[in-house]
Amino acid sequence: MAQIELKGIHRVRRKLADGSFREHHYAWRGGPKFWDSQSGVKLNSPEYIAALTEVATSPKPSNYMTPQMVDDYISSAEYRAKKPRTQADYRKWALRFADEFKEDPATLFEDPRSRGEVNEWRQQWGHSPKQFDYAGTVVSVILNWARNEGKIQEHHCDRLKKLYTSDRSEIVWTPADIEAFNKKAPGWVRRILGVALETGLRPGDLIQLTRNHIEDTPQGRRLKVRTNKRGRIASIPVTPNLAIILDETPRDQMLILASANGKPLTEHRASEGVRQWRDKAGLTPEALGYDLRLNDARGTAATRLLRADLSLNQIAAHMGWSLRHAANVIERYAAVSPDESDDVLIKLAAHRRSER
């Protein structure tokens, strides 16, 4: 066996989610990994030397480190093409990724074992499935970009396991919930929930509604909105309840929804305002057995749109749902809303027959 110089080995210690440490050895800084402390191979043993020998005889690549790869991605056209909110979220998780693997070469992710190391890093957010999943999503995006750009030859972090699952089709704002909320909430918060219940728009779209989105039609009025999430045009009929809210908007106010002092709302403030007054109305998760949110107004809105004679196809496209999900949500709302269940169920049955 050739004699190998043990100097110059790049050693990295990484803290795991359980508080323990794992040590990783690279042939040189920026070079290939050949050993880690959980490999079962003893340090400086013949097997250790053999592993080092195998990688040390390969040509040395440039010292392209993980933080540089992350910086290059953030400077890329692919990153800049994303929406500002997505850019901010990606940047936060990309920098966390870069900091965790700051001493590792980008070629680390060409090793199949890197998948386990990324999953170990994600475990610190194991208490929050959404954050756990988002960390994996951003890592995959960065490594896919690096592979496509020729920065690395391959990687093993595609389709990382996801923890978060959500089926909120049975969570809706019932007439009793809405009545209790409106008795407690101030006018500016009632308007937020009211518009959400009639349009089904997400909070990010609700806060951007202006008078310019209102159009006259032969039958009345509609809201024509390009949604933030999918960039699609949504054409929403102005229902009688929505018409009242629109007509009550102060003439000198361009935004349909605003804070108590007439200032623009953020997505967070709109959602938090509804949550705070929901709790004051006694609609807490403890009282209901589930967490009723502003986004859950979309199910109620789907029912309203069916009553306004939109087809299931139109409702599903507007909400970004499947036909089956749209029908299930509407049926659920009808079941807890006796005052309109007959009318809704008749229309739902007719639309289901027409879709066959």
Q: What is the CATH number of the domain that holds 232?
A: 1.10.443.10
Say whether both 131 and 251 belong to one domain: no
Q: Does position 133 have pLDDT exceeding 70, yes or no?
A: yes
> Of the spans 95-109, 161-175, 337-351, which averages the highest pLDDT?
95-109
- Residue 160 in any domain: the answer is no
In terms of residue numbers, what domain contains 222?
Answer: 175-355
3-state secondary structure at position 26: strand
CB atoms within 10 A of CB 34: 22
Q: In this predicted structure, what is the pLDDT of residue 17?
A: 72
Say whether both 297 and 246 belong to one domain: yes
- Residue 59 in any domain: the answer is yes
Q: In this predicted structure, what is the pLDDT of residue 78?
A: 93
- Residue 91 in any domain: the answer is yes
Q: Does position 321 have pLDDT exceeding 70, yes or no?
A: yes
**Average pLDDT in the 45-62 region?**
73
Which segments of the chain does DSSP mark as H helices, in order? 46-56, 66-74, 77-80, 84-100, 114-122, 129-148, 175-184, 187-199, 203-206, 240-248, 267-280, 285-288, 297-307, 312-319, 323-335, 338-355
Say whether both 138 and 194 belong to one domain: no
Q: Does position 136 have pLDDT exceeding 50, yes or no?
A: yes
**How many independent structural domains does the chain possess?**
2
Q: In this predicted structure, what is the pLDDT of residue 302?
A: 80
Say whether both 143 and 179 belong to one domain: no
Say whether both 299 and 341 belong to one domain: yes
Say whether both 197 and 331 belong to one domain: yes
Q: In this predicted structure, what is the pLDDT of residue 337?
A: 60
Say whether both 92 and 216 belong to one domain: no
Structure tokens at 329: 């949500």
Average pLDDT, the chain: 84
Q: Does position 1 have pLDDT exceeding 50, yes or no?
A: no
Say whether both 221 and 304 belong to one domain: yes
Q: In this predicted structure, what is the pLDDT of residue 2?
A: 43
**Average pLDDT in the 273-294 region?**
92
- Residue 155 in any domain: the answer is no
Please list the residues that pair with 220 across neighbouring strands.
217
Question: pLDDT above 90 covers what percent of the chain?
Answer: 39
Specify the residue for token string 């496509």: 148
Specify the amino acid at residue 63.
N
- Residue of 283, 281, 332 lying closest to 168 (CA atoms): 332
